Every structure is written in C-alpha cells, then in structure tokens.
Amino acid sequence: MSRRRRATGIPPADRRFWGSDDSESPAAGKIRPTPDPGALPRSLGNPPLAVSPATARRHLDAVYEEAVRAATALAAANGLLDTEYWEETVPSSPTGD
C-alpha cells in the first residue's frame, strides 16, 4: 500500500500570514531601551506569589532589568540601538563635560 506524500512547501495559510520568501522585509527601526523595565508588570498589581508582594516585586524587577540589558546588548551588537537617544540622555563623561 502506498502512502500519500505531503507537499514539502509552506502551507497556503502560513504563506498568507507570514508572507512569501521573495518579498523584501522593511528596514528595522532603531531601539530605545526603557528606563523602567518593571513599569508594565507593576501596573498589573502585586504578583500572585506565595512570598510577600515586596519581595516578589524586587526579584521580578531584577529579572526585568536583566532582560532589558540583554535585549539592549543584542540591539547594540546588531546596530539597532538608537545612538542619538543615548547621546542626548547619557552624559559623555562622569564630570559632565
């Protein structure tokens, strides 16, 4: 008994959603890291964890800050970081010259 072979191409529904391979993707915009990584989760209220809300929030804020650091490093490594924003907001030297 022979089995029916599946088509090896991308299914039509996926192609409609993701687009075809031959189309040019738009240029990526520049990225500005957030100064407050925990703002969105904090707006949702206290995390529903078994420890005290202050302890849970402190630990989760550390995770959010590390995620922003990693994303910023990846953006900088790929040339996607908005350097004009950094030049405006971050002083060039510790003395403020």
User: Does the structure show a pLDDT above 70 at 35?
Assistant: yes
- Flag whether 11 is in a domain: no
**Per the structure, how many domains does the chain have?**
1
For 57, phi then psi, to 5°, come to: -65, -40
Q: Tell me the residue range of the domain where 84 lies.
A: 50-91
* C-alpha span between 20 and 16 (Å, rounded): 8
- Flag whether 35 is in a domain: no
Name the H helices within 1-97: 12-18, 39-43, 53-77, 83-89
- Flag whether 34 is in a domain: no
- Flag whether 63 is in a domain: yes
pLDDT tens by residue, 52-93: 888 999 999 999 999 999 999 999 999 998 888 767 766 665
**Residue 50: band (very low, low, confident or very high) from pLDDT cuts 50, 70, 90:** confident
